[in-house]
Amino acid sequence: MLDTKLFFKILNDKNFFNLKKLKYKYGNEIILDFIETLKSTSYKKIFTVEQGKIY
């Protein structure tokens, strides 16, 4: 689970919809944790995560 401050920093990032840039900026593990946090709350499916890869 992500730190709340980091979660909202990623959520408000200007590149929020560019997962490639987010992964470069924050790292793959953090972005995967971010996606899992979104899944556990509420979200509309905009991407797919399979075996640690983001599509």
* Domain boundary assignment for the chain: 4-54
* pLDDT per residue as tens digits for the range 3-17: 999 999 999 999 999
Whole-number Å distance between alpha carbons of 55 and 24: 15
* pLDDT per residue as tens digits for the range 12-35: 999 999 999 999 999 999 999 999
Determine the 3-state secondary structure of 4 from DSSP.
helix
